[in-house]
């Protein structure tokens, strides 16, 4: 599945763990029936590193592109890679609506909590006070909690992993891909260049024991600021008919000639 | 009678549009070619709506200033249209006594079951006067909601009037469809399997029409969260090999521009219907304009090829929507079908033989095997297509890429790929047969495009102009345009915008004398244009 391309992620980047985990998953589910898509940002470079059919789309749009791919060919496994800047800033409407319609796609959110490829600006998940090139005296906005957003929009599979734990990540992604309907996996992916949170995450993360009965309480345990513990694992899972299943295709009954005859 | 025009007016919700269509159907069965213009406001109830139904033997797709009959549901409709001549047939339950035929339309409709049928009461009077047989009326009401009750209403009024003419029924009549229906059907004939759109007048009726028939035609209709979602979902869908069309108006088209640029870069086929309203900005949603021509010609950032077709009636809308889909897939470029409100929402007589002139072209496929290169550099710039789900790895990219589809910043590759994409133009030009149409002859030339075609042909004929219609704006048919004006004394351009966008394009190639511009959202009436031409 490897491509002979030059990897340009920074040494130690949290994206390597995502790549590793995803490769394992795709190997298991089959490369031929898998299509990946991505937006623009460091996360998107994964497209150039995997020898799998792909649509390398626009900034903020991989989630809706993925739905389009799934409508076009429901037999494909469709995985959308996106970043916090990509799908919580630029393309947040697409994320909310893909969740709402329970589109049968898997979204992997590379959560590095800053715009990294454009050399450090604050995003929707940067903490308050975050010093960046567009917030030199500290971010004055509060962060959004993407899991809460997805839950409020009706998410049927919500999980959080961490680049520091590839095996768990692989398991979460596999569960997500197998989930019928929309699956959302946020991956805490420290940005070694601009926002190195490895130590912080190692200290604060812990694994959920099973799927919690009260997902919202666990989702809100960490507020993307500095305090609190950070739960990892599956927060919510439910069975619901997917959007593409409901999109009935019908049986061709009429043709244009007949149609025009009725209009005479 | 070779030419008849009927205006029916009332408040929104009065049923004037439905009755207008029935009148259109009757004229159609009576051997007329029919054109229906709809005038309505951006509201749901109240206001003033009217339909202009014109039947001609020679097929003039435009309205006249003068009318032969005015069917008025309320006082407002009389006030607005009374000066145009003809016989007034009015709803005497709402309109005070006037010269004309008063019909207690509401009373009759209420007695027969529902006040909504009142507009069909006026139809009853009209039909008797112009000599429509009862049998024909029965025919056109077939399939109409509550047809029996409606026919009772019509009958009561029909019997109360005197016949003043005779309308014969033809053996075989044409079909009556709107421009938007024609666009949808043309794309279906080219293998369209998906239509994605966010509602925006005047393109919305494509969404409604296809939503209604999606099961019968076995297609997907999808209404995403916004127009950015529309175009990006559509490109994802097309990437899997499924022919996809999107539709919008100027504002939504603006939101799609980054996606159109993506279509060009990733070489993903897509048809975008841009149905113009009067702009800028939100403009006047339900009124006509042709001010998005320059925009459609430059629909995204970067240097790329895109087709721009501008049909001028339903038959052309059908033909060019079909061609847009076929050519978009043959050349893997975005195709824009530029129409306007008066094409989209007007009803036209449609000859079903138009169907014979179209087919589905098959795209050039590659081998679905391991060595597949999505952006293989070829002599004509077109790389064979393969869709994901097989042995081949298909890598589409919004970044500049190498032949395999991997992002690149290599200067030689950037140049090669840019040239590859632009090289397609040569074959595209050869494929485009009918880029302009010429009507009549003479040494005075009148240029038109889109919905101004109807009035231009009708007025040009009487004012002694040869009419030249531009159907393809990109690639621009410069040779044919130059040829068309050879030896002529005068060149006039008529269009529905304030700067003369088509005229300014024409000026790059030929001398343009005069522009006749209209930008009040209303269509040119035949007499109005004749007067302008004679100035």
DSSP B354: G
Triad B465, B471, B472: Cα angle to 5°: 135
Determine contact, residues B37/B63, Cβ cutoff 8 Å.
yes
Contact between A68 and B232 using a beta-carbon 8 Å cutoff? yes
Contact between A58 and B224 using a beta-carbon 8 Å cutoff? no
SS3 B210: helix
Q: Tens of pLDDT along B204-232?
A: 999 999 999 999 999 999 999 999 999 99
Is the model's pLDDT at A254 over the cut of 90?
A: no
Distance from CA of B252 to the nearest CA of A (A): 16
Containing B448, the helix (H) or strand (E) segment is strand B444-449
What are the residues facing A236 on neighbouring strands? A158
Contact between B229 and A93 using a beta-carbon 8 Å cutoff? yes
Containing B515, the helix (H) or strand (E) segment is strand B514-517
Which residues, 6+ apart, have CB-to-CB distance to A178 below 8 Å?
none
Tell me the C-alpha to C-alpha distance, in Å, between residue A163 and each of A10, A13, A62, A197, B63. Answer: 14, 9, 21, 11, 68
Is the model's pLDDT at B26 over the cut of 90?
A: yes
Structure confidence at residue B174 (pLDDT)? 94
Tell me the C-alpha to C-alpha distance, in Å, between residue B500 and each of B220, B241, B435, B489, B497. Answer: 39, 39, 20, 20, 6
What are the residues facing B467 on neighbouring strands? B439, B446
DSSP B485: T
DSSP chain A: -B-S----SPTT-THHHHHHHHHHHHHHH-STTEEEEE-SSGGGGHHHHB-S-EEE--TT-HHHHHHHHHHH-TTSEEEEEEEHIIIIIITHHHHHHHHHTT-S-EEEEEE-SSBTTTT-B--TTSPTT--BTTBTT---SPPP-HHHHHHHTT-SEEEEEETT-HHHHHHHHHHHHHSSS-EEEEEE--BTTTB--HHHHHHHEEE-SSS-SSHHHHHTT--SSSSS-EEEEEEEE-----HHHHS--------HHHHHHHT-
Q: Read off the tokens for A249.
A: 């295709």
Q: Which residues of B touch A75 (CB under 8 A)?
A: 389
Which residues, 6+ apart, have CB-to-CB distance to A243 below 8 Å?
A67, A101, A102, A103, A104, A181
How far apart are the C-alpha atoms of A131 and A143, rounded to whole Å?
14
How far apart are the C-alpha atoms of B533 and B527, rounded to whole Å?
10
DSSP B361: P
pTM of the predicted model as reported, rounded to 2 decimal places: 0.97
Among candidates B215, B236, B244 on the partner chain, residue whose Cβ is nearest the Cβ of A248: B215
Neighbours of B82 (CB within 10 A): 17
Q: Tens of pLDDT along B188-209?
A: 999 999 999 999 999 999 999 9
pLDDT, averaged across chain B: 97
How far apart are the C-alpha atoms of A42 and A46, rounded to whole Å?
8
Computed from CA positions of residues B229, B230, B232, B234, in that sequence, does the dihedral angle turn out positive or negative?
Answer: positive
SS3 B69: strand
Nearest residue on chain B to A45, judged by CA atoms?
B407
Q: Read off the tokens for B63.
A: 């309205």
Structure confidence at residue A263 (pLDDT)? 86
Average pLDDT over residues B85-107: 96
Determine contact, residues B486/B492, Cβ cutoff 8 Å.
no
Q: Which residues of A touch B192 (CB under 8 A)?
A: none
Is beta strand B270-278 parallel, antiparallel or unpaired with respect to B244-248? parallel
SS3 B516: strand
Residue B85: pLDDT band (50, 70, 90) is confident
How far apart are the C-alpha atoms of B147 and B152, rounded to whole Å?
9
Nearest residue on chain B to A51, judged by CA atoms?
B393
What is the end-to-end Cα distance of chain B in Å, rounded?
Answer: 30
Q: Read off the tokens for B110.
A: 């209420």
How far apart are the C-alpha atoms of A237 and A183, rounded to whole Å?
9
Q: Which residues of A touch B214 (CB under 8 A)?
A: 250
Among candidates B175, B222, B392 on the partner chain, residue whose Cβ is nearest the Cβ of A260: B175
More confident residue, B83 or A133: A133
CB pairs under 8 A between A and B: 173
Q: Tens of pLDDT along B40-53?
A: 988 888 889 999 99
Q: Which residues of A touch B232 (CB under 8 A)?
A: 57-58, 61, 64-65, 68, 94
SS3 B517: strand
How far apart are the C-alpha atoms of B24 and A116, rounded to whole Å?
62
Containing B177, the helix (H) or strand (E) segment is strand B175-178
Average pLDDT over residues B105-112: 96
Residues present in chain B in total: 535
Residue A226: pLDDT band (50, 70, 90) is confident
Among candidates B216, B235, B350 on the partner chain, residue whose Cβ is nearest the Cβ of A68: B235
CA B449 to chain CA centroid, nearest Å: 12
Architecture of domain B176-357: 3-Layer(aba) Sandwich (3.40)
Containing B82, the helix (H) or strand (E) segment is none
Residue B357: pLDDT band (50, 70, 90) is confident
Residue A264: pLDDT band (50, 70, 90) is confident
Nearest residue on chain B to A33, judged by CA atoms?
B389
Structure confidence at residue B285 (pLDDT)? 96
Architecture of domain B3-160: 3-Layer(aba) Sandwich (3.40)
| ipTM value | 0.97
Peptide bond into B202 cis (omega under 30): yes
Q: Which residues of B touch A40 (CB under 8 A)?
A: 398
DSSP B404: T
Q: Which residues of B touch A3 (CB under 8 A)?
A: 406
Residues 377-406 in B contacting A (C-alpha not used; CB under 8 Å): 387-399, 405-406
Is the model's pLDDT at B82 over the cut of 80?
A: yes
Structure confidence at residue B43 (pLDDT)? 86
C-alpha closest to that of B57 among B487, B449, B407, B458: B458
Q: Which residues of A touch B183 (CB under 8 A)?
A: none
Q: Which residues of B touch A94 (CB under 8 A)?
A: 225, 228-229, 232
How far apart are the C-alpha atoms of B485 and B446, rounded to whole Å?
10
Contact between B229 and A94 using a beta-carbon 8 Å cutoff? yes
Strand order across the B3-12 sheet: B101-103, B87-91, B69-72, B3-12, B46-56, B33-39, B347-350, B175-178
Q: Tens of pLDDT along B310-346?
A: 999 999 999 999 999 999 999 999 999 999 999 999 9
Residue A228: pLDDT band (50, 70, 90) is confident
Where b means 16+ CB within 10 Å and e means fewer, A136-173 reads eeebeeebbbbbbbbbebebbbbbbbbbbbbebbbbbb
Determine contact, residues B415/B461, Cβ cutoff 8 Å.
no
Determine contact, residues B484/B438, Cβ cutoff 8 Å.
yes
Q: Tens of pLDDT along B234-293?
A: 999 999 999 999 999 999 999 999 999 999 999 999 999 999 999 899 999 999 999 999
Backbone phi and psi for residue B283, each to the nearest 5 degrees, phi listed first: 55, -140
Residues 94-123 in B contacting A (C-alpha not used; CB under 8 Å): none
Is the model's pLDDT at B77 over the cut of 90?
A: yes
**Which of B215, B394, B395, B410 is most worth mutating to test chain A (most A CB atoms within 10 A of its CB)?**
B395
Is the model's pLDDT at A223 over the cut of 90?
A: yes
Ordered by where they begin, the domains of chain A are: 15-262 (3.40.50.970)
Determine contact, residues A71/B194, Cβ cutoff 8 Å.
yes
Q: Tens of pLDDT along A135-171?
A: 999 999 999 999 999 999 999 999 999 999 999 999 9
Distance from CA of B224 to the nearest CA of A (A): 8
Structure confidence at residue B149 (pLDDT)? 95
User: Domain ranges in chain B?
Assistant: 3-160, 176-357, 364-432, 436-534
**Which of B398, B399, B402, B403 is most worth mutating to test chain A (most A CB atoms within 10 A of its CB)?**
B398
Backbone phi and psi for residue A123, each to the nearest 5 degrees, phi listed first: -120, -170
Determine contact, residues B249/B290, Cβ cutoff 8 Å.
no
Residues 224-243 in B contacting A (C-alpha not used; CB under 8 Å): 224-226, 228-229, 232-242
- Fold agreement (B3-160, B176-357): no
Q: Tens of pLDDT along B367-420?
A: 999 999 999 999 999 999 999 999 999 999 999 999 999 999 999 999 999 999
What is the end-to-end Cα distance of chain A in Å, rounded?
Answer: 58
Strand order across the B514-517 sheet: B436-439, B466-470, B444-449, B490-495, B514-517
Is beta strand B101-103 parallel, antiparallel or unpaired with respect to B46-56? unpaired
Q: Tens of pLDDT along B120-163?
A: 999 999 999 999 999 999 999 999 999 999 999 999 999 999 99
Is the model's pLDDT at A194 over the cut of 80?
A: yes
Token pair 């507009």 in the structure block, residue: B119
Determine contact, residues B272/B249, Cβ cutoff 8 Å.
no
Q: Tens of pLDDT along A63-108?
A: 999 999 999 999 999 999 999 999 999 999 999 999 999 999 999 9
Domain B436-534 classification at class level: alpha beta
Which residues, 6+ apart, have CB-to-CB distance to A170 below 8 Å?
A20, A21, A24, A25
Contact between B229 and A263 using a beta-carbon 8 Å cutoff? no
DSSP B222-255: E--SSHHHHHHHHHHHHHTT--EEEEE-HHHHHH
Contact between B220 and A51 using a beta-carbon 8 Å cutoff? no
Nearest residue on chain A to B30, judged by CA atoms?
A264
């Amino acid at each position: 599945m490897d491509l002979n391309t030059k990897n340009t992620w920074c040494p130690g980047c949290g994206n390597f763990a995502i790549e590793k985990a995803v490769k394992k998953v795709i190997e298991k589910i089959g490369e031929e029936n898998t299509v990946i898509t991505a937006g623009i940002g460091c996360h998107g470079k994964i497209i150039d590193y995997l020898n799998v059919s792909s649509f390398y789309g626009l900034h903020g749009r991989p989630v809706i592109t993925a739905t389009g791919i799934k409508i076009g060919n429901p037999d494909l496994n469709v995985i959308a890679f996106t970043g916090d800047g990509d799908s919580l800033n630029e393309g947040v409407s697409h994320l909310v609506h893909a969740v709402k319609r329970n589109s049968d796609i898997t979204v992997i959110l590379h959560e590095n909590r800053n715009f990294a490829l454009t050399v450090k600006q604050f995003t929707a998940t940067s903490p308050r006070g975050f010093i960046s090139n567009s917030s030199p005296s500290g971010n004055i906005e509060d962060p959004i909690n993407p899991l809460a957003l997805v839950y409020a929009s009706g998410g049927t599979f919500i999980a959080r992993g961490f680049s520091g734990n590839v095996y768990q990540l692989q398991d979460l992604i596999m569960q997500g891909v197998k989930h019928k309907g929309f699956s959302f996996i946020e991956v805490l992916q420290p940005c070694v260049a601009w926002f190195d949170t490895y130590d912080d995450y190692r200290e604060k993360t812990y694994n959920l024991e099973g799927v919690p009965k009260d997902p919202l309480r666990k989702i809100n345990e960490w507020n993307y600021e500095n305090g609190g513990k950070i739960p990892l694992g599956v927060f919510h899972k439910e069975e619901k008919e997917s959007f593409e299943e409901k999109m009935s295709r019908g049986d061709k009954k009429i043709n244009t000639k007949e149609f025009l005859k009725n209009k005479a | 009678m070779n030419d008849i025009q009927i205006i029916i007016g009332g408040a929104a919700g009065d049923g004037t549009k439905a009755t207008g269509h029935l009148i259109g159907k009757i004229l159609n069965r009576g051997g007329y070619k029919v054109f229906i213009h709809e005038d309505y406001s951006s509201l749901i109830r109240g206001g003033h709506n009217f339909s202009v139904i014109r039947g001609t033997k020679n097929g003039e797709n435009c309205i006249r200033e003068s009318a032969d009959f005015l069917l008025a549901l309320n006082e407002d409709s009389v006030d607005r249209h009374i000066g145009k001549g003809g016989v007034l047939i009015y709803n005497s339950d709402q309109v005070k006594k006037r010269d004309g035929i008063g019909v207690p339309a509401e009373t009759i409709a209420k007695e027969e079951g529902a006040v909504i049928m009142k507009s069909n009461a006026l139809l009853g009077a009209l039909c008797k006067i112009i000599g429509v047989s009862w049998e024909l009326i029965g025919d056109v009401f077939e399939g109409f909601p509550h047809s029996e009750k409606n026919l009772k209403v019509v009958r009561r009024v029909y019997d109360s009037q005197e016949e003043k003419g005779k309308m014969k029924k033809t053996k075989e009549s044409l079909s009556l469809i709107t421009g938007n229906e024609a666009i949808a059907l043309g794309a279906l004939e080219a293998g369209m399997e998906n239509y994605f759109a966010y509602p925006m007048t005047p393109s919305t009726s494509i969404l409604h029409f296809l939503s209604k028939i999606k099961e019968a035609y076995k297609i997907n209709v999808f209404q995403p969260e916004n127009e950015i979602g529309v175009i990006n979902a559509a490109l994802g869908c097309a990437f899997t090999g499924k022919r996809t069309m999107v539709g919008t108006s100027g504002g939504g088209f603006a939101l799609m521009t980054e996606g159109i640029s993506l279509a060009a870069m990733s070489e993903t086929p897509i048809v975008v219907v841009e149905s113009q309203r009067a702009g800028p900005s939100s403009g006047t949603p339900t009124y006509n304009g042709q001010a998005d021509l320059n925009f459609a010609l430059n629909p995204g950032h970067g240097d790329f090829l895109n087709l721009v077709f501008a049909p001028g009636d339903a038959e052309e809308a059908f033909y060019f929507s079909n061609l847009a889909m076929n050519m978009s897939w043959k050349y893997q470029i975005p195709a824009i079908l530029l129409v306007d409100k008066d094409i989209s929402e007007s009803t036209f007589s449609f000859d079903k033989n138009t169907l014979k002139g179209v087919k589905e072209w098959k795209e050039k496929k590659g081998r679905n095997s391991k060595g597949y290169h999505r952006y293989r550099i070829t002599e004509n710039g077109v790389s064979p297509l393969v869709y994901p789900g097989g042995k081949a790895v298909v890598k589409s990219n919004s970044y500049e890429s190498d032949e395999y589809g991997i992002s690149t910043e290599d200067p030689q590759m950037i140049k090669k790929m840019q040239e590859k994409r632009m090289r397609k133009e040569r074959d595209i030009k050869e494929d485009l047969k009918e880029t302009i149409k010429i009507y009549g002859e003479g040494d005075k030339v009148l240029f038109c495009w889109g919905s101004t075609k109807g009035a231009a042909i009708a007025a040009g004929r009487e004012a002694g102009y040869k009419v030249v219609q531009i159907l393809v704006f990109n690639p621009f048919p410069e040779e044919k345009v130059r040829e068309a004006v050879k030896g002529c004394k005068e060149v006039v351009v008529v269009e529905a915008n304030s700067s003369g966008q088509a005229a300014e394009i024409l000026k790059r190639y030929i001398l343009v004398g005069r522009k006749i511009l209209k930008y009040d959202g209303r269509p040119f009436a035949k007499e109005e244009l004749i007067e302008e031409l004679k100035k």
